[in-house]
Structure 1
Amino acid sequence: MFQSKKNIIVGRNPVTEALRQQSGVDKILLFKNASGDVINEIRKLAREQNIPVQYVPNEKLNSLTNINHQGVIAYRSAVTYQDLQSVIDWVNDKGETALLLMLDGVTDVRNIGAIARSAVCCGAHAIIIPDKGVGALNEDAVKSSAGALEKLNICRVNSLLKAVDDLHLNGIKVFTSEMNAKQKPYELDLAGPCCIIMGNEEKGVQSYLSKAADAHFTIPMKGEFDSLNVSVAAGIILYETMKQRL
């Protein structure tokens, strides 16, 4: 199996085997006109494992490797993804109060790394991410997190809204950050099982997720500025959660 310095898997059979073994594939690049039984199996396995597939021109694949890629290249993930319900069950079996973080549209790997560090320090059990629209959890992200991403459960889901429904079914309240919210973090009841959604710095949490949340909060600021960096904001709300639980 060929693997380049960019940590990629090249070729139809190597990618298929990696998927069969569930060996941490982060994303698949597929030539947009690729076809055949093996390609169909790759699509099927990727769909079952919530692995995003991006359809690209041949030139994109050629730019990543100088060997015969057969229309398929996969990126290895630096983390192992976990099933959300399995993580919730694991937390309950330990007799602990669930604390999860959901990232909506956070694309900067440095922010993700910094959020992971705060999450570990404040006792979070998992980070939930979508299969699309989030920064790649690659070696750079792990490095930015100082290894924290390897200490957390990372749950990748194909629908954040469905994940919110699953959280509610398990008795986990969901809180979202919102610039115009009236409640402050210290006014929320964060001592019970909860998940905190942090959104994109420019667009915030998507409206359909915000509507599904149990409550909204805003972090008060004395200085006149638009907003806090998302990793800083996540650190503040995570610390408040930990403080209420101590």
Structure 2
Amino acid sequence: MFQSKKNIIAGRNPVTEALKSGQTIDKILMYKNASGDVIQEIRKLAKDLNIPVQYVPNEKLNGLTNVQHQGVVAYKTSVVYQDLQQVIDHTNDKGETILFVMLDGVTDVRNIGAIARSAVCCGAQAIIIPDKGVGALNEDAVKSSAGAMERINICRVNSLLKAVDTLHLNGVKVFTSEMKAGIKLHELGLTEPCCIIMGNEEKGVQQYMSKAADAHFTIPMKEGFDSLNVSVATGIILYEALKQRMLKA
């Protein structure tokens, strides 16, 4: 059965048909004990299309829809994901200096939408997200972006660490913020090809991702308060990049 409510497709055959017809699917939730030929087909199609499958209790699925889901629910997305290497090549071919944003553990779709707005306004060409551990880029995220998500490349990758390797191989430096970093934001060289990693507001960038960065910087703030919303922080950083690049031009 097809569940028209919001962005959900429920049922084995509807999900299978959605995958075969090329609909953009953000992720699939599947009952952990689901079995059968159609289930195997969905798993294979999802793997081939690089769509994450999350195994959940049946109660989770029951709470998402009031129709018979048969152990499978898929989330549609309005976003068309792009290949990272192709976006790098396309950006270079246009003669633009790469400015990307990578999101590590950012789950609030409103923050993601706001980040997309700042990214477009400041000239960034792409946002890189993992296939797991990030907020679903659904209608709410697109709405929060005020149309920005339709104007920027969204690259979904299996591994953020491998994405960093790809960036490095293409001459793109990777920077991330750290409260006690010795370099202040305005001292960072943002006129060169670079990607900024932004982390979860509570936990920040994961340690292994932080270690992979080429440099760490801090956003100067008044004493006594050191907390910024991730979308606000991203906007500050990207505007600094825009300013440096405008002054250099």
In structure 1, the residue matched to 2:102 is 102
Matches within 5 A, 1:212-231: 212-231=212-231
- Count of residues in correspondence between the two structures: 246
Q: Distance in 2 between matches of 1:48 and 1:85?
A: 18
In structure 2, the residue matched to 1:202 is 202
Q: Which runs of 5+ in 1 are unaligned?
A: none
Identical-pair percentage:
80
Q: Distance in 2 between matches of 1:205 and 1:57?
A: 29
In structure 2, the residue matched to 1:157 is 157
Q: Distance in 2 between matches of 1:39 and 1:224?
A: 54
Once the 2 structures are TM-superposed, how far is the Cα of residue 57 of structure 1 from its aligned partner? 2.2
CA contact (8 A) 2:3 2:65 kept: no
- Pair 187,75 (structure 1): closer, same or farther in 2 beyond 3 Å: same
In structure 1, the residue matched to 2:83 is 83
Amino acid at match of 1:128: I
**Residues 90-129 of structure 1 deviation map (CA, whole Å, 9 limit, x = unaligned):** 1111111111000111111111111111000001101001
In structure 2, the residue matched to 1:122 is 122
Cα RMSD, aligned residues only: 1.4
CA contact (8 A) 2:27 2:52 kept: yes
Aligned pair 1:14/2:8, yes or no? Answer: no
Q: Distance in 2 between matches of 1:7 and 1:37?
A: 25
Aligned pair 1:179/2:174, yes or no? Answer: no
**Residues 182-230 of structure 1 deviation map (CA, whole Å, 9 limit, x = unaligned):** 1112111111111000111111111111111110110000141132111
- Pair 182,232 (structure 1): closer, same or farther in 2 beyond 3 Å: same
**Residues 15-40 of structure 1 deviation map (CA, whole Å, 9 limit, x = unaligned):** 12222333210111111111122212
Q: Distance in 2 between matches of 1:129 and 1:58?
A: 28
Q: Distance in 1 between matches of 2:164 and 2:182?
A: 22
Partner SS state of residue 27, structure 1: strand
**TM-score with structure 1 setting the length:** 0.95
Stretch moving more, 78-87 or 221-230: 221-230
